[in-house]
A and B are shown apart, each in its own frame.
Chain A
Amino acid sequence: MSLIEFKNVSKIYRLGEVEIPALDGVDFAIEEGEFVVVLGASGAGKSTILNILGGMDTATGGEVNVAGDDITKYNAKQMTLYRREKVGFVFQFYNLITNLNALENVEFAASVTQNHLDPAKTLDDVGLSERAKNFPSQLSGGEQQRVAIARAIAKNPLLLLCDEPTGALDYKTGKMVLKLLENVNAEYKKTVVLITHNSAIAPMADKVIHVKSGKVEAIDINENRMSVDSIEW
């Protein structure tokens, strides 16, 4: 059984009397330890997939199985527990807690999780042990994103979900962040799901899920995954 299975998943947003379908019968599976890129243009539905998978939103129909459990059946409490124990998020705009310094941000995430990693070591792993006492406002964008990754890893989650993690970064910093995610996938054996509109990133994934107009258009398997070092955009 795959670690993640989306079965005929649909999502409809209702704005008054208007129904806007965001996902329409999405099916895919992700295996444990895979690096998956969900690729699509703006409005294709990739963020909706990530939100549903991360327990931040609920599907209107279908099944979302994560490690054998259908998370669409979860109530609010179970969903909170799911986010707490199973998911690590990395956002485009980092979303660090501004009033906590770098180390405290990581420690905070670890503190809500039972089976967490050592926050200081995790921060060191992303190369920011020197900036541990700095607040987000004292860090560059790339550094903030690395803290966000450390925060996600420190929870020792089953899944690492990344929403356009390089969207707000320059080329060089973006590459550095991707490299970090690649290492996390390799060293921590974490399943990474990264959504992006940048197709140049696709070659670094084990699996590429192409999304268009709320449907899965294609799923590509990269037999020979490329290192991010050799990817240019």
Chain B
Amino acid sequence: MVGGMKYILLKTFRDIRETIGSFISILVVIFIGCFFFAGIIEATSAVTKQVDGYAADLNTASARAAYMYVNSAAVDEIGEAEGVKLAAGYNTFYAKLKGTRTDVTLTTLTPDIDKPDVLRGKLPERKKDDGFIEIIVDKVYAEAHKIKLGDTMELTVDTLDRIELPSMNMSYKKLDYKCRVSGIYHAIDVLYKVDVMNTAATAEEFVMAMVNVEDVPLFTDTAGIYSGANPILPFSSLEQAGITVYNGIRTLGTPENAKEVFGAYTVDTEDAEQALKQIQDMLKNPSAAAGLFVNVMEFDEYPAVVAYDGINDAISALAAVLPFIFFAVAAAITVISLSKTVDNQRMQIGVIQAIGVGKGAVYFSYIFYALFACVIGGLTGGIVGTYTVPYLLEFIYEGQFAMPPTPLDIGVLYLFLGVVVAAALACVSAFLSCHRTLKAVPAQAMRPKPPKKTKRILAERWTGLWKRLGFGAKMNLRNMFLHKIRMLLSSVGIVGCLALLIGLVGLKDNMAFSFNHYDAQSGYDMAVYLLDAADVAAEYAKMEESGTVEKLTFVPAFSAKFTHGKKSADQTVMALPSADDVRKYEYCDVDCVKLYTDMSQKTRLKLKTDTFAIPEYLADKLDVKAGDVVTISGRALDGKTAEFDVKVTDIVYEYFEQKAYCSYGFFEERGIALAADTAYVNAARDAEINAVAKKIENAEGVRGVQTFRESFGILEDRMSLLDYAVILFVIGAGVLAVAVIYNITATNLKERTREIATLMVLGYKKRETANMLIVENMVITAIGCLLGLPLGFLLLKWLVGVTETFGVFISSFMSWYTALGCMALTFLFSLVATMFLNRKMKKISMVEALKSVE
């Protein structure tokens, strides 16, 4: 090492010792920034790698195509398509576990693709003589129901009976199978342990199972494609010709234009004549590749993967944005404290240069100071984050998802990336801090810096006000406005702190508000899901007093596309009973879902025949206000097209479940079938809700029942993920505010030691002097709060947007008590930091402070 550099380094280390408080505060802020940056990004990336690696190990299909039917010749052809390494036909069935409310997705094994990860037991063997079919069931269900190897279960499987032309309607026959559990496996498709938003199916009511393809036939003996009463393509004829029929194809490797490749095997269902002709061609040459294509999903489109990636991406987005608040604050306090250190050492810098040391070495000294803080803070924060957050996130995910049981593959890329980002900012900050002083020639630097010219500030123009101010206030105001940039930089920490607090606490607040809103809005005890869509009018007509059920409301609904101008969105349209409807169908309840046109739920929307209300988020998305006309197109539950233009009469506030609402009368007027597969039920006042649910569940035609409390609880559990983030970031925000205010005050104190000593000599009491510092910090905090409020609100809006990735729609307002509470907390943090320095101020020696030359 060059001799001079040794001493420059020595000087730098002594500078660090002398300004240890400031140094530590920079280090701490960078620690937190890198902790979040490296920790969360590494965690989400490790979890994604974990899932992808797991999927690769199991040869998870790159694409899965669904057909009404497809023959083995088509499977073979697809297997030879470019980009496809392997293709296999398989069958998927919808089944029900007899005697329970459990839905079963039963698929057949394809040994080389979608290889099941058997955790216990073994893969199913061919059907035994005892009539039992061996199946494997997924671990989530097995754990929830304490399923053991060898347990038996009876499945009622929907087996394909007919495909009708030209409607393409499919009908099924229910066939019963006795099964024995040969193994428990981890199903990669079971991502969520719970599924609350759509159907009655939860982890406890839904099971993935796999069987041998030979054991459960895809279709009945009489199955085939029908035109009228006669089959034009009986599947048995294909079987006899040695052609196997499936309803799905799995591939390893995906052809480039997947939809076209898989979709080549279909008939034109739009044109009945054309369809018939194509089917006749198939009959002429039954061994040719043929099928009726439905859709194809590539790996990254699987619902589980999409949901998982969405959540992971949302968390990554948090990690990518929030740490930069910390990095920005670290840069600001680096500039503040290093500028002061450089100012204090101005003369030394002149001397060092006069001795013949180059400017580069001096730059090095200060850049090293900042870099040292960055490297120590960044590396430790990064290491702690990298090796704790992924496990913490995995632990949290485990509560929510059926995580595959493989170890996390943690890398160090983001650890170093975080340090590099922080270091780059620190270098720039350090350079800017000493650049001005180093521009001076040594002789100039060795002379004391001319005092900064004090100017009149704006407040002095209001002479009346100015005269009323005490000298402490005058000094504070001038001091702050004399160092405007420093004041703004100082407030950066407060801005960051308050923005974080408002963003996270506000999100939690909105979540709580939305939960209460949802609770108050829902007037039913349980949702009943039906196996088939019921004709509402007929059902009401049939209904008799049961004694247990007080009210039952069918909710006809259909999925529709909403179009307004060039904007469009998908949304469910649901019909609820209006007061007029209740007069007609006396069983239904006008209060089963209460709609409000204001956020505070004071103005209840009373449905009329022409009412068409859409949720606030949809109105925003489509840029629609009450009175605008939107175009609706969809298919009602009876299969008929529903297309109409409608005037949006109201905008309603509702969270978690978003729908467009109208009355039964609205459906009837437009000829939309009043058909429903869901009903909302209220138990009798003294009846036990769960007992009623159980009773209804066993009724004929009922697919499942879920009480409102159940789904509410599941939703709350799922949202509990947020609590961890709030706690982490509130701690982060607190440390940020304390570190920054400590740094500023320490710098301020050092700079004003002489002034404070003079005040003390003049007889100013310590409390009065301390108050001056407190007031100044409070003013800086107040300015920071003013800037932080809008930023916090923006952050809150952004975070609410992120939660939409979770399929959750919540309110996004900033309540005055959140704002006040967060500001109070910020002021408290600021006060705590000021108090830390109070002792330092009390130690100022008048004699020593006044001895030094100005």
Q: A and B: real partners?
A: yes
Of the candidates B475, B479, B764, the one whose C-beta lies within 8 Å of that of A112 is B764
Give Cα distance in the complex from A178 to B766, angstroms.
33
Chain A residues closer than 8 Å to B760, beta-carbon distance:
80, 83
> Does B452 lie at the interface of the complex (its beta carbon under 8 Å from any beta carbon of A)?
yes
Chain B residues closer than 8 Å to A97, beta-carbon distance:
475, 755, 758-759
B750 to chain A minimum Cβ distance, whole angstroms, is: 15
Chain A residue nearest to B762 (CB atoms) is A109
In the complex where A85-B763, A97-B758, A112-B762 touch, is A91 in contact with B475 (Cβ < 8 A)? no
Asked if residues B454 and A137 are in contact (CB atoms below 8 Å), the reply is yes
A149 to chain B minimum Cβ distance, whole angstroms, is: 14
Chain B residues closer than 8 Å to A87, beta-carbon distance:
763
Chain B residues closer than 8 Å to A219, beta-carbon distance:
none
Asked if residues B474 and A104 are in contact (CB atoms below 8 Å), the reply is yes
Chain B residue nearest to A94 (CB atoms) is B854
Give Cα distance in the complex from A103 to B754, angstroms.
20
> Does B482 lie at the interface of the complex (its beta carbon under 8 Å from any beta carbon of A)?
yes
Q: Please report which residues of chain A, range 74-124, place their CB below 8 angstroms from some CB of chain B when the two chains form the complex.
A: 76-77, 80-81, 83-85, 87, 89, 91, 93, 95-101, 104, 107-109, 111-113
Tell which of A2-10, A50-58, A209-217 binds the partner. A50-58
0/1 interface trace, chain B 747-776, chain A, CB 8 Å (1 if under): 000000011011111111110000000000
Give Cα distance in the complex from A51 to B847, angstroms.
7
Of the candidates A83, A100, A137, the one whose C-beta lies within 8 Å of that of B474 is A100
Of the candidates B474, B757, B763, the one whose C-beta lies within 8 Å of that of A99 is B474
> Does B850 lie at the interface of the complex (its beta carbon under 8 Å from any beta carbon of A)?
yes
Chain B residues closer than 8 Å to A108, beta-carbon distance:
471, 762
B67 to chain A minimum Cβ distance, whole angstroms, is: 82
> Does A140 lie at the interface of the complex (its beta carbon under 8 Å from any beta carbon of B)?
no
> Does B453 lie at the interface of the complex (its beta carbon under 8 Å from any beta carbon of A)?
yes
0/1 interface trace, chain A 107-149, chain B, CB 8 Å (1 if under): 1110111000000000000000000000111100000000000
Chain B residues closer than 8 Å to A99, beta-carbon distance:
454, 474-475, 478-479, 482
Chain A residues closer than 8 Å to B766, beta-carbon distance:
76, 80
Asked if residues B850 and A91 are in contact (CB atoms below 8 Å), the reply is yes
Give Cα distance in the complex from A108 to B472, angstroms.
9
Chain B residue nearest to A107 (CB atoms) is B471
Asked if residues A136 and B854 are in contact (CB atoms below 8 Å), the reply is no
> Does B307 lie at the interface of the complex (its beta carbon under 8 Å from any beta carbon of A)?
no
Chain A residues closer than 8 Å to B478, beta-carbon distance:
99-100
> Does B451 lie at the interface of the complex (its beta carbon under 8 Å from any beta carbon of A)?
yes
Chain A residues closer than 8 Å to B482, beta-carbon distance:
99
Q: Please report which residues of chain B, range 326-349, place their CB below 8 angstroms from some CB of chain A when the two chains form the complex.
A: none
Of the candidates B453, B475, B755, the one whose C-beta lies within 8 Å of that of A137 is B453
Chain A residue nearest to B480 (CB atoms) is A99
Asked if residues A54 and B761 are in contact (CB atoms below 8 Å), the reply is yes
A-B contact count (CB 8 A): 85
Asked if residues A83 and B471 are in contact (CB atoms below 8 Å), the reply is no
Chain B residues closer than 8 Å to A155, beta-carbon distance:
762-763
- The count of residues in chain B whose C-beta lies closer than 8 Å to any C-beta of chain A is 30
Chain B residues closer than 8 Å to A93, beta-carbon distance:
850, 853-854
A204 to chain B minimum Cβ distance, whole angstroms, is: 25
In the complex where A54-B761, A81-B763 touch, is A98 in contact with B847 (Cβ < 8 A)? no
A159 to chain B minimum Cβ distance, whole angstroms, is: 13
Asked if residues A137 and B761 are in contact (CB atoms below 8 Å), the reply is no
Q: Please report which residues of chain A, range 35-60, place their CB below 8 angstroms from some CB of chain B when the two chains form the complex.
A: 47, 51, 54, 56-57
- The count of residues in chain A whose C-beta lies closer than 8 Å to any C-beta of chain B is 36
> Does B318 lie at the interface of the complex (its beta carbon under 8 Å from any beta carbon of A)?
no
Give Cα distance in the complex from A137 to B402, angstroms.
71
Asked if residues B846 and A84 are in contact (CB atoms below 8 Å), the reply is no
Give Cα distance in the complex from A111 to B850, angstroms.
22
Asked if residues B471 and A111 are in contact (CB atoms below 8 Å), the reply is yes
Chain A residue nearest to B455 (CB atoms) is A135
Chain A residues closer than 8 Å to B759, beta-carbon distance:
97
Pick the most buried of B763, B850, B853: most chain A CB atoms within 10 A of its CB.
B763
Give Cα distance in the complex from A93 to B754, angstroms.
11
B526 to chain A minimum Cβ distance, whole angstroms, is: 71
Chain A residues closer than 8 Å to B754, beta-carbon distance:
95
Asked if residues B454 and A57 are in contact (CB atoms below 8 Å), the reply is no
Q: Please report which residues of chain A, range 7-33, place their CB below 8 angstroms from some CB of chain B when the two chains form the complex.
A: none
Chain B residue nearest to A135 (CB atoms) is B454
Asked if residues A98 and B454 are in contact (CB atoms below 8 Å), the reply is yes
Asked if residues B761 and A83 are in contact (CB atoms below 8 Å), the reply is yes
B749 to chain A minimum Cβ distance, whole angstroms, is: 15
0/1 interface trace, chain A 147-181, chain B, CB 8 Å (1 if under): 00001000100000000000000000000000000
Asked if residues A104 and B453 are in contact (CB atoms below 8 Å), the reply is no
Give Cα distance in the complex from A96 to B761, angstroms.
12
Asked if residues A112 and B850 are in contact (CB atoms below 8 Å), the reply is no
Give Cα distance in the complex from A89 to B764, angstroms.
14
In the complex where A56-B847, A100-B474, A135-B454 touch, is A80 in contact with B479 (Cβ < 8 A)? no
Asked if residues A137 and B451 are in contact (CB atoms below 8 Å), the reply is yes
Chain A residue nearest to B758 (CB atoms) is A95
Q: Please report which residues of chain B, range 800-854, place their CB below 8 angstroms from some CB of chain A when the two chains form the complex.
A: 846-847, 850-851, 853-854
Asked if residues A84 and B847 are in contact (CB atoms below 8 Å), the reply is no
Chain A residues closer than 8 Å to B479, beta-carbon distance:
99
Asked if residues B850 and A98 are in contact (CB atoms below 8 Å), the reply is no
A71 to chain B minimum Cβ distance, whole angstroms, is: 14
Asked if residues A104 and B847 are in contact (CB atoms below 8 Å), the reply is no
Asked if residues B763 and A98 are in contact (CB atoms below 8 Å), the reply is no
Chain B residue nearest to A134 (CB atoms) is B454
0/1 interface trace, chain B 510-544, chain A, CB 8 Å (1 if under): 00000000000000000000000000000000000
Give Cα distance in the complex from A98 to B453, angstroms.
9
Chain B residues closer than 8 Å to A95, beta-carbon distance:
754, 757-758, 761, 850
Give Cα distance in the complex from A51 to B754, angstroms.
15
Those 9 A-B pairs whose CB atoms lie nearest each other, nearest first: A84-B763, A99-B478, A135-B454, A108-B471, A137-B451, A56-B846, A95-B758, A83-B763, A99-B475
CB pairs A–B below 8 angstroms (29 shown): A47-B847, A47-B851, A56-B846, A57-B846, A57-B847, A80-B760, A80-B764, A80-B765, A80-B766, A83-B760, A84-B762, A84-B763, A87-B763, A93-B854, A95-B754, A95-B757, A95-B758, A95-B761, A98-B755, A99-B478, A100-B471, A101-B454, A104-B474, A113-B763, A135-B453, A137-B451, A138-B453, A155-B762, A155-B763
Extra A-B contacts (13), CB below 8 Å, given A80-B765, A95-B757, A97-B759: A56-B761, A56-B850, A76-B766, A81-B763, A89-B761, A96-B758, A99-B454, A99-B474, A99-B482, A108-B762, A109-B762, A113-B763, A138-B454
Chain A residues near B (Cβ < 8 Å)? 47, 51, 54, 56-57, 76-77, 80-81, 83-85, 87, 89, 91, 93, 95-101, 104, 107-109, 111-113, 135-138, 151, 155
